[in-house]
Amino acid sequence: FHYADVFGELPDGYETLLLDVMLGDATLFVRADEVEESWSLYDPILKAPPPVVFYPAGTMGPSEATRLAEGWGHRWEQPAGAGLGRPATRVFPSLDQATRALSSAVLASAREAIAQRGRFHLVLSGGSTPRGLYERWGKGSRFPWQETEVYFADERSVSPRSSKSNYAMAREAFLSKVPVPRSQVHRLRGELSPGSRAAREYEGLLRQGAGSGARFDLVLLGIGKDGHTASLFPDAPALSERERWVVTVPRAGQPPFVPRLTMTLPALASSRAVSFLVAGADKAPAIRGIFTALPRGTERLPASLVRSEGPVTWFLDREAAAGLTPGQASPRGKTA
């Protein structure tokens, strides 16, 4: 062979490109269908980058990575709802400031969802902490209620007029004051007996709108002092549910001790984003435990098991975040 044929100087890239064009050789060209297919992979990543998984110190090969993933209850071939790694945290001096920031974030999420898909699917929670957020909405805003579908993460087995009802609280705080069509407010019918009937009914409703992507655009949650969220209580059988989206809870883990209905972890994971709103020094031990348990999570603190197809963001007041390390709690107004 001739030395120059093998070790000669390579032609310039543009020279090769022009020669290929002249000769009609498209071997090295990227086709339009290949570009479109690549964007179907990269676009979701750019819009909602998956959180980084922080592994323990030391060398870890594929077998150890697989063992950890299975220990977290995940498999590599099931990326939806993985949500592993550090959560995003936003810490504010007061609950009022955290509430205002969350309200703005919900509005931004709604506008994006409506622009892209024509509808905003929002899941609400009960409890005392989110009431300020709901009342803020009830005082008037530019929120696109006409294009919003409202759901509830859990409900007590009581009348919708009961003071113990999550729906009743939301209705009093804002649903009765904003122009959301009644047909777009989907409440859990806690008054039905047996509760399993209401669970099946609500699951049917949720499944009807479930396609290949996330069912909900945003899920709003809080936590109790014991680390529960929705009506998923520590070490409860509902935490092991992998198929059903709505189940009955015969006995709550805290007052009022009445039966409840709740979305399960798989239902909450079928979301494009999850936001927690937590306030008060009495929640600080639970918050510290939850962030320590991440990314794996623990059934002793059910909120640590909540996943999403997109970001999981914690809106905390300073008292609730008091037990977090500087690495866990980012500065006010910034997301870690």
Look at residue 10 in the predicted model and tell me its pLDDT: 56
Look at residue 83 in the predicted model and tell me its pLDDT: 46
Look at residue 85 in the predicted model and tell me its pLDDT: 41
| Element holding 150 (H helix, E strand) | strand 148-152
CATH 3.40.50.1360 residue window(s) in the chain:
86-317
CB 164 within 8 A of CB 256: yes
Q: What are the beta bridge partners of residue 220?
A: 275
Look at residue 79 in the predicted model and tell me its pLDDT: 37
Q: Is 202 left (phi over 0), alpha (psi -120 to 50) or beta?
A: alpha
Q: Measure CA 100 to chain center.
A: 19
Summarised one tens digit per residue, pLDDT across range 249-291 is: 998 878 777 899 999 999 999 999 999 999 999 999 999 999 9
pTM for the full predicted model:
0.73
Look at residue 335 in the predicted model and tell me its pLDDT: 40
Look at residue 112 in the predicted model and tell me its pLDDT: 95
Q: Measure CA 28 to chain center.
A: 41
For the chain, residues with pLDDT lower than 70 are 1-14, 44-70, 73-86, 210-212, 330-336
Look at residue 332 in the predicted model and tell me its pLDDT: 43
Instruction: Assign domain 86-317 to a CATH class.
Output: alpha beta
Read off the DSSP letter of residue 151.
Answer: E
Sheet with 260-263: strands ordered across: 154-156, 260-263, 246-249
AA identity, residue 297: G
Summarised one tens digit per residue, pLDDT across range 57-73 is: 444 455 566 666 667 76
Look at residue 255 in the predicted model and tell me its pLDDT: 78
Read off the DSSP letter of residue 82.
Answer: -
Rounded Cα gap, residues 221 and 153, in angstroms: 8
How many Cβ atoms sit within 10 Å of the Cβ of residue 133?
A: 22
